[in-house]
Structure 1
Amino acid sequence: MQTTYPHPPCSLLKSAPPGSDSNLEAKLKASLDDPKKKKVLCRTCGAEITDNSFATRVNNSHEHSFFNPHGYVFQIRCYSAATGCRYSGKPSYEFTWFAGCSWQIAVCKACLSHLGWRFQSDSTYFYGLIRDKLTE
């Protein structure tokens, strides 16, 4: 049985203004050069994915545990930006973990390892990255 969810804007995070992707990328690049920031790296290849300044709370928590339709459990951490990721596939609402948000698979730009998912609604987006696929 397929589960579908309505497509209203989710209010999980503050809305990102249109065109803010480039602002987030600039902020991320600047913060990755700051030695006080903890870099979040791909565990497979060591590429820089994001940093701890982009950690965000979604539904009142930074970290969540979910299972997929096949029964695999994922512990994810939420980030407002992850420029070391690229995402692929069409957005899907099927078995979404955050009501009102579609998801796409997020992979490491450097080695293409699956790191998690990019979730988005009409007004916002964030990354849910698999804790065990990252290192600091």
Structure 2
Amino acid sequence: MQIINNPLPCSFLKSSPPGTNSGIEVADKDELRESEKKAITCRECGARITDTSFSTKVNDNHEHSFFNPHGYVFQIRCFSAATGCATSGPPSNEFTWFAGYTWQISSCSKCREHLGWRFQSNTSSFYGLIKDRIKE
């Protein structure tokens, strides 16, 4: 797992130059069979957010860690879909952790707990869900 020091609070760090390969790949089919359809739920209220069959790799990793200057570490897991999330706010490319992607805040559709972010480029999108706010 890669840890990147982010100089701005609760912001996002640029990781590679725009225009490079998105680095998003769907998990291996054998991996999907083993973990197919295991529910991922909101740790706060138990609502279904996604399932493990939507696990995806971004820049060769399913999990990423970033932290801000206040010492808050965000360990995120990447998913290609999260139907239990409500996305809010305008898309922003300011301090994105993933070059070429804008981000929006994603919260639990049921209890509104902040669960992570939806990242979107011109060609793809994924959810980065905060590991300790979701439960398998």
Q: Which residue does 2:4 correspond to in 1?
A: none
Deviations 1:13-45 (A, max 9, x none): 26xxxxxxxxxxxxxxxxxxxxx6210000000
Indicate the SS of the match to 1:110.
coil
Is 2:42 the partner of 1:42? yes
Which segments of structure 1 move beyond 4 Å, counting only runs of 4 or more? Answer: 1-10
Deviation of residue 118 (structure 1)? Answer: 0.2
Q: 1:13 is matched with which residue?
A: 24
Superposed, which structure 2 residues align to 1:26-105 within 5 Å? 37-68=37-68, 70-105=70-105
Aligned length in residues: 115
Listed as ranges, the gaps of 5+ residues in structure 1 are 15-35
Shift of 1:95: 1.3
Letter in 2 for 1:119: F
Q: Which has the higher helix share?
A: 1
For the pair 1:134 / 2:134, whether they are aligned, the reply is: yes
Unaligned runs of 5+ in 2: 1-6, 26-35
CA contact (8 A) 2:65 2:73 kept: yes
Distance 1:48 1:59 in 2: 26
TM-score, length of structure 1 as denominator length: 0.75
Higher strand share: 2
Q: When the two structures are superposed, what TM-score results if normalisation uses the length of structure 2?
A: 0.75
The 1-side partners of 2:94 and 2:48 are apart by 30
Give the SS at the match of 2:24: coil
Give the share of equivalent positions with the same residue, in percent: 62
Structure 1 residues 98, 84: closer, same or farther in 2, change over 3 A? same
Work out whether residues 44 and 133 of structure 2, in 8 Å CA contact, stay in contact via their aligned partners in 1.
Answer: yes
Could you say what the CA RMSD is over the residues aligned between the two structures, in angstroms?
A: 2.4
1:53 counterpart SS class:
helix
Confirm or deny: 8 A CA contact 1:42 1:49 kept in the other structure: yes
Distance in 1, Cα, partners of 2:50 & 2:118? 13
